[in-house]
Amino acid sequence: MATHARRRILLTGATGNWGRATLRALAAHDTVDVVAFAQRTATDRRVLREFRDMANLRVAWGDLTSYDDVRRAIADVDCVLPVGAVVSPLADAHPALAWRVNVGSMRTIVRAVRATDPRIEVIGVGSVAETGDRPEPHHWGRVGDPVRVSRFDEYGQTKVVAERLLVESGLPRWAWLRQTGILHPGVLRVRDPITTHVPLGGVVEWVSDEDSARLLAAIAQGPPDALWHGIYNVGGGPGWRLTNWQFLVAVAAALGARDVRDTVEAALGRAVAAAPPLVRAAGLAPPYLLKNVVHRRVAAQPRGTLHALRRRDDERVAAFFGSRARWRGIGDWDTFTPPEPSRTPVLLDHGYDETKPPARWDDADYTQAATFRGGQRLGPAARRGDLGTPLLWRCAFGHLFRASPRLVLVGGHWCPRCVRDPAGYARQAERNPFLAQLQ
């Protein structure tokens, strides 16, 4: 690993929303040098003009899936912050691109770090989408819950695979951040059918782009040893835990608020300032205009909820509503009651003794965890306290796979073939008590 008087960081995705906020945060730290990885496109060049006077910044041009480009970029760095990814809604429209970039870039980074210096730190970035939709009463998620991606969410699927690659990489200094939804100035510019996929009672713990950037800036300055080999959910805290209904109410408040606080409303206030005139005028528009001119048009586009209903796409209707019958039973505003999910945590059972220190885990713990998942632990006895060596497992459907105790017990992963079949989760849950908790 490079040794400098100042830490040197490689930031991928530097021209994205989170990346730009991170560059702004790092500009204030004179103990950190930043290498921003970007593509030679007109868009990336235009974005980077904002940072042309940033004294501790240099740009490395290249493709995240190119081994040679990545190898050159990490040649003299202490830490890699791989924020770059194809995220939703772009990932929904172009799933093949999302797989190529999100999985390919992690595979390339791991390979390049191994070849250059395995001691280089890698802070992988995933998503809470890896554990999918979590209706009440199981909306209280934690690391170790079942990796269970929502149907048609290819972005979440790519992050599951990328996480597995890093956790099982054997590198000595890695951590994985499952990032939640980021409120950034461009959030109200999203005019994509993905905005119709959120039920009003769904719960999300948001976080601002500035807080997310502060997290990466703190890591860039030198994280504690306790961070390594950890998987973490990243959110904004209690004040950012909203139902989707509360989020809509907050958007409306931000559109008309004159004095917003530095909370959810503050981030939305910055988003409103950057929003198109039509969005800023939304607070003055009659409800029927918003419904019929704005929202209905978006919902009628491919991947939208109305599009699925009109095309009788039963698979997507099931993903969005449960069934056509359940959609018909939704009712209208006359019967609507604002959702108020419990604020008392209801935690899932992970299927092993969580009070037992991981340093004492052995085959008895792994067998217990496998049984709770409807499967088996196979092969020779594992070394006590060895969380990183992949073991052999079999799921309830006979699929054999290798995974480390850390990946299974700490991360909540199980059979990689089964997780790629969201339409079959209900069928899987009949044999998998771990998964059945969410049915």
Q: Between these two residues, 256 and 293, which has the higher pLDDT value?
A: 256
Confidence of residue 200 (pLDDT cuts 50, 70, 90): confident
Residue 270's pLDDT is 63
pLDDT digits (tens, 9 = 90+) for 45-55: 999 999 999 99
137: cis peptide before it, omega within 30°? yes
Residue 261's pLDDT is 41
Task: Give the span between the Cα atoms of 342 and 201, in whole angstroms.
Answer: 11
Range with lowest mean pLDDT among 141-145, 288-292, 310-314, 420-424: 288-292
Instruction: Give the contacts of 147 (CB within 8 A, at least 6 positions apart).
Output: 130, 131, 160, 411, 412, 413, 414, 419
Residue 279's pLDDT is 56
Residue 272's pLDDT is 58
Strand-pairing partners, residue 231, are 176
Task: Give the span between the Cα atoms of 370 and 373, in whole angstroms.
Answer: 5
Residue 277's pLDDT is 65
Tokens (6 digits) for 296: 């209905």
> Alpha-carbon dihedral of residues 290, 291, 295, 296, nearest 10 degrees?
-140
Strand-pairing partners, residue 37, are 60
Residue 332's pLDDT is 81
Quick one: average pLDDT of 211-226? 95
SS3 label, residue 358: helix
Q: Has residue 28 got a pLDDT over 90?
A: no
Task: Give the span between the Cα atoms of 385 and 406, in whole angstroms.
Answer: 10
Domains of the chain: 7-241 (3.40.50.720), 358-436 (no CATH)
Quick one: average pLDDT of 88-111? 96
Residue 288's pLDDT is 44
Q: Has residue 265 got a pLDDT over 60?
A: no
Task: Give the span between the Cα atoms of 93 and 191, in whole angstroms.
Answer: 13
Quick one: average pLDDT of 172-182? 96
Over its C-alpha atoms, the chain yields an Rg (Å, rounded) of 23
Residue 259's pLDDT is 39
Q: Has residue 298 got a pLDDT over 90?
A: no
The fraction of the chain above a pLDDT of 70, given in percent, is: 89
Residue 280's pLDDT is 55
Average pLDDT, the chain: 90
Q: Has residue 145 got a pLDDT over 50?
A: yes
Residue 258's pLDDT is 44
